[in-house]
Structure 1
């Protein structure tokens, strides 16, 4: 009776490149060659949802990583050089950030649950909600970008931050690229000095070290695999401060995103229709034969009630009474929308930003605690000043909007009456009354806004700048065409005349000639400097502790998918150890090598390397009192290996004696006895390990009944989850998967298994012919027809009952 109960099998239409089990739930994420991300449930391998590639994310997924609580899935995209965080519940993109290189590997870890740090964690609670009102919801009607998460949206920041306990996403790529992101959002370290492409990495849960497997390519030799251990002691020694800083800077990053999206919504509210008056007046100047100024023509109409033939043609034929009415309504609507966005979003978001930056400044002034992390009070003060300038510019825009709305209302009301009189239509009595004050107001508006500007025609293709709000929303480096007139402002005059206030650091600079976008960019640059400095300082503190040259990659394996290829890293939280499992098929095809290093680089561990000999009788045990027979049953080589838990290794083996090379075995290798060896290996660090294999201690290992031969599948790779006690086997052609429960045995008899095998084979043929069978009825990210073991569809991905529902 074979071990492990098969609970699912599927033939997929596109090759699978990456697969990763959810740490907490019975879900497995798959990424295929088309850039599609799939989420499957363990039971019968039902698909829960799929996330197709799009222009925002990209089409080339290069690695996967689950957040330790299983609620967020990170995947990296090679063609757009981004890391994307996806909500596992709804298949929604929560956040994405650019990286310098396409990420080739990722690891998401959670800080160890240590009683000594619980107090500091509780002190890291953010109290901003007690002092700051909740930010208004972004108007989704304006922009699709508002769907990207921001602080106001359905508690998603809290969802992303997760528990108060710190978790860190480690991203690695080519050219020694390694970055660490707190909560998967805020970059806390950029590492340097690592050689080669990162193939695998793991940050220890005590934050004392980072293990990296790299591949170094040279021009005259095969690629070389190395194990590097980096000392990250600063992270562990400053854990409470790091947690506080990371959470605070994550809020700041979120608020910046909120302000960006708010400004995008404002730009969309400001429509190009506001330019129509400027363009029509320019066309009028170019077409008319007289040399009279436009403002003189309008003033003549205002004062004497008659217009030139050219002006009358402009008003009655091009603009029309109906068009004027629609233009007035459109301008009024646009201005009102922008005004609301400035008041409710820009100003409230800026106030929240000032609050959080002020708290960070207080942290930075506590130099004993926070200076080692790179917090600089002067940089943070510069950021606070930049946010203050942005707030002042937003207030200036509000004044311009308010003045423009009054001007346009008066102007359109007068022009509407004048055009009705030209067309000899009835003028309503309520519109026919204009006081001397109203006439003076319109006259001032005409003289100020309707003067032609030849320089403006060269820059913008128009002579006029009647509309004054749009210039603030243009994302350009040029100065404002019509900056506000400050001549009569008593405060500005007072500051200029005061020698003490003129250059005072207490006053925020106003940049009167610049647009809102320009001041926003200054603010972003200043805050980015604050956000990036700790990453550089912490990154510089990380030093290489150990570098071990393992082996060279043979040319024969150059076309093997890189993700599944060994070595594989494992972090033993209980024993504070890094484990590396790897094979050297060219040197010793029947051995698996296990390297272990303490997470504390300053410690040493005896017997740090052992080789597991796979030439052990299939049903024997290394603990048996009877000696093993002289000849073994079979010899095996390891195709893939993953740590199932701290004491067990899950492997896919190939029988070497099999001429057709088809016999594959899935097995669980117990490591307790093998890891308690007594022999010590003396490692010559100047040589590769493959050049000194003779002295490596070899341990026999047997898996007894913890193995199963793989029928009808050319098994090549395996992904495991020891907490859920499951394994997923992938075939060499990357299209055929089987899922097993590892702590249960098959209960059916031989005939039933034979029938099932025959039925499955024919079913696979049908699936191969009709590759459209993949749609498992997904709507809105929920499974609609997952009738698993007599149960109805589930409303949530959470599975509190575990695998017993199978």
Structure 2
């Protein structure tokens, strides 16, 4: 690479915008969306702001728990979802559209590292799924009614009161026209466990680092295009920096079946959670607007007429048709017309809501669950595929049996609810008629022709008041065997049993996947490192399908005079993982502190520098075309390292940097952190000022004009 005098370089990176935020932010969660011009900021690590690069606020998200902090974030590769790793051991997935949380993964420990990777299109095409490509091509759920958000009045704690969540988790198609690329959310816990979540939802459980190593803290993670190799930069308790390789075999082994398992493992639990919420809302609706007013009526009647059998008293009134004495006083004074109207309005609305929830929410959700479980059961029954997937046909059939009982119970409840509602309407008409007769109120014209079915009034008093329909479906009792059965059934218990079976099925599949993940021998890069001043980034580069490199760029001490670049060959032999022959570059840095490192693409590295002494300029942002430099790199054999790799490479001579691009900053804007999107055809970056309140957006490829016109320079939002 030819050297270019910096004085001859024009100012690179044309400035597009300069924005002043409403408040200072933290640099830890400063990130750029991989496909859209969106930026994340956090003022306090408890909340997250999403901005357009032009300074327009899109949404704010805050954690509901006052003591929980956001420790790391990761964008889904398509930019539609943002994962938040939190100090309570949860990963919360929020949509980019409105910031609503659509899923939560519960881990055990605080998150130290979070990355979201996706397989390449070439890898997708090469996966051996042509033979079975059409097996799951028809999406039966596409012809089913769409599920609607739950009413918020009695379900404020439900995840499914928002349309975005319902559409993303419940109504999204279960089969795409073309095979989809597998993406993987990789979470590193602060106790040294790695957790893979397929599509950000299906967690395969903990992958602990090898026991021969001390407890490791993941700092950085990269993966190959086919997601078969993962490299982790980690820190030990003694501040040793290690590179730990991991080989993952289950993606290619499971093939297209992984789509079905991962998708179903998310959709089925979400639908079961939806079913549980529907049952809870029905129960609350009933208790608040039907059962409570009815019990109030009966208690009031007991007190007024001094009886322990209020239903018998009402039957006497129905038979004789005249209210006398205390009964008359109760009807005219303690239970006036306004109370009757309020009860009728609330009860009628609740009956309608319960029926609507059954018809439009519970039963359709169960139909979707049945389709998904049947698909998984089909894979389990398929001997050549189900066995290596870890799926149990017996457990799947058990799930279908429980679902059948829930469906029977739901249809029975709907039938019985309609009958009770019909009885209630006759009963409340009769109560109104008796009140008008007792008060001597003349009937309105529309009321004169209304006939009251006294048999239904009698059924409501003797049957429904003593044993409401709701009790039959929320009580602990034997299970029904058919639709015509009148035995009680507890739908909530059945839903819980189904959730437990669902967990069992997908846990077996996750266990089988973990068996196809193997860690390799670690490489100690630097022992007893000054972690506080450590800067490290890594990237996987694949020039062709036969050559794979892992590039590690480190600054062991940000105030030391060099940047260390390592190029490690990823072996195609599963047992070896990494080649011991490592290309090493030591790039000389003079009188400058390294503030930040960031890969622009597979050949260019961006470095943010700040002078250590008074110089004729302040901070600057430069790019280094490192691929060309590796042609003059030294090769180190890491087979027999006594202490660490760094001791072996200190004898490697430093090389002078030849910056491809340079951007100098004036004293008014001292940069503190950079982030880039690196997207081809739209490569832009953002630099955050030291005051943590201003940022500049720049073009990575355009040179800056001599007279710069910065858009939005004085705007505050």
Give the Cα separation in 1 of the matches to 2:313 and 2:59: 64
**Which among 526, 529, 540 is matched to residue 551 of structure 1?**
526
1:116 aligns with 2:133: no
Q: Which structure 2 residues correspond to residues 225-240 of structure 1 after superposition, within 5 A?
A: 225-240=241-256
From 678, 684, 688, the equivalent of 1:726 is: 684
Unaligned runs of 5+ in 1: 451-464, 494-511, 616-633, 768-772, 776-806
Q: Match of 1:64, SS? A: strand
1:706 aligns with 2:661: yes
Structure 1 residues 7, 592: closer, same or farther in 2, change over 3 A? farther
Distance in 1, Cα, partners of 2:539 & 2:685 = 16
Which of 47, 55, 58 pairs up with 1:46?
55
Q: Residue 442 of structure 1 corresponds to which residue in structure 2? A: 457
Q: Deviations over 1:48-103 (max 9, x none)?
A: 5232425389973322222222333333344583412322x455544444443343
Distance 1:62 1:490 in 2: 52
Indicate if the aligned counterparts of 1:83 and 1:97 stay in contact, CA closer than 8 A. Answer: yes
2:71 aligns to what SS in structure 1? strand
Query: Larger deviation: 231-240 or 685-694?
Result: 685-694
**Mapped pair 1:694 → 2:650:** yes
Distance (Å, rounded) in 2 between the aligned partners of 1:434 and 1:49: 57
User: Where does 1:475-624 land on structure 2 (aligned, <5 Å)?
Assistant: 479=476, 492=485, 512-551=487-526, 558=532, 566-574=535-543, 575-585=547-557, 589-598=561-570, 600=572, 601=574, 602-605=576-579, 607-615=581-589
* 3-state SS, counterpart of residue 180 of structure 2: coil
Contact 1:649-1:670 within 8 A present in 2 as well:
yes
CA distance in 1, matches of 2:369, 2:571: 38
| Matched residue SS, 1:570 | strand
User: What is the aligned counterpart of 1:402 among 400, 418, 426?
Assistant: 418
Aligned-residue offset at 1:470 = 6.8
Which residue number in structure 1 is paired with residue 180 of structure 2? 164
Distance in 1 separating the partners of 2:665 and 2:174: 41
User: 1:671, 1:678 → 2: CA distance?
Assistant: 14
Equivalent residues of 1:150, 1:157 under 8 A apart: no
For the 8 Å contact 1:67–1:108, the answer to whether it is kept is yes
Counterpart position of 2:356: 340
Alpha-carbon spacing, 1:705–1:46, altered in 2? closer, same or farther (3 Å): same
For the 8 Å contact 1:255–1:349, the answer to whether it is kept is yes
C-alpha distance in 2 between matches for 1:700 and 1:123: 56
Of the three residues 3, 21, 31, the one matched with 2:32 is: 21
Asked if 1:76 is matched to 2:77, the reply is no
Question: What is the CA-CA distance between 1:272 and the residue it aligns to?
Answer: 1.0
Q: CA deviation at 1:157?
A: 2.9
User: Contact (CA 8 Å) 2:583, 2:635: kept in 1 or not?
Assistant: no
Task: Tell me the SS of whatever aligns to 2:405.
Answer: helix
CA, structure 1 residues 291+31, in 2 after alignment: closer, same or farther (shift >3 Å)?
closer
* Distance (Å, rounded) in 1 between the aligned partners of 2:75 and 2:603: 22
Matched residue, 1:803: none
**Partner Cα distance (1:100, 1:63) in 2:** 16
What's the counterpart of residue 780 of structure 1? none
Residue aligning to 2:222: 202
Query: Partners in 2 of 1:124 and 1:35 — Cα distance?
Result: 45
Q: Which runs of 4+ in 1 moved over 6 A?
A: 56-59, 153-156, 159-163, 428-435
Q: What whole-Å deviation, never above 9, does each CA across 1:595-625 have from its counterpart, x for those lacking one?
A: 524174535436324132214xxxxxxxxxx
2:607 corresponds to which of 639, 644, 651? 651
CA displacement at 1:131 relative to structure 2: 7.1
Name 1:795's counterpart in structure 2.
none
Q: Deviations over 1:424-471 (max 9, x none)?
A: 223569978999x94454344433455xxxxxxxxxxxxxx5644377
User: 2:630 maps to which residue?
Assistant: 675
Which one of the candidate residues 731, 736, 742 is aligned to 2:700? 742
Q: Report the CA distance shift for 1:579/1:655 in structure 2 as closer, same or farther (over 3 A).
A: same
Give runs of aligned pairs for residues 94-243 of structure 1, distance below 5 A: 94-114=102-122, 115-117=125-127, 120=130, 123=134, 126-129=137-140, 132-138=143-149, 145-147=160-162, 149=164, 152=167, 157=172, 164-193=180-209, 195-217=215-237, 221=238, 223-243=239-259
Q: SS of the counterpart of 2:650? A: helix
Seen in structure 2, the aligned counterparts of structure 1 residues 156 and 400 have a Cα distance that, compared at 3 Å, is: closer
Give the C-alpha shift of residue 354 in structure 1: 0.7
Structure 1 CA distance, aligned partners of 2:72 and 2:129?
Answer: 35
The 3 A distance-change label for structure 1 pair 101 and 160 is farther
1:377 aligns with 2:387: no
Equivalenced residues, count = 684
- The answer as to whether partners of 2:40 and 2:48 remain within 8 angstroms in 1 is yes
Deviation of residue 324 (structure 1)?
1.7
Distance 2:594 2:286 in 1: 64
Q: CA deviation at 1:659?
A: 5.6
Q: Deviations over 1:293-316 (max 9, x none)?
A: 223322222222344644334333
1:460 corresponds in structure 2 to none
Deviation at 1:361, TM superposition (A): 0.7
Partners of 2:649 and 2:287 in 1: CA distance: 72
SS at match of 2:347: helix
Q: Following TM superposition, by how much is the alpha carbon of 1:405 offset from its aligned partner in structure 2, in angstroms?
A: 0.9
Q: Closer, same or farther in 2 for the Cα pair 1:586/1:106, shift >3 Å?
A: closer
In structure 2, relative to structure 1, the CA distance for the partners of 1:112 and 1:292 (3 Å cut) is closer
CA distance in 2, matches of 1:240, 1:270: 45
Secondary structure, aligned partner of 2:235: strand
Give the distance between the partners of 1:334 and 1:393, measured in 2 at CA. Answer: 19
Separation of aligned partners in 2, 1:513 and 1:61: 47
Rounded to whole Å, the distance in 1 between the matches of 2:174 and 2:457 is 54
SS of structure 2 residue aligned to 1:581:
strand
**For the aligned residues, what is the CA RMSD?**
3.9
In the alignment, the residues of structure 1 paired with residue 205 and residue 670 of structure 2 have an alpha-carbon distance, to the nearest angstrom, of: 42
Show the counterpart of 1:245.
261
Aligned residue for 1:687, secondary structure, equals coil
Q: 1:355 to 1:330 in 2, by over 3 A?
A: same
Any gaps of 5 or more consecutive residues in structure 2? 1-9
Q: 1:270: Cα distance to partner?
A: 3.7
Distance 1:536 1:733, change over 3 A: farther
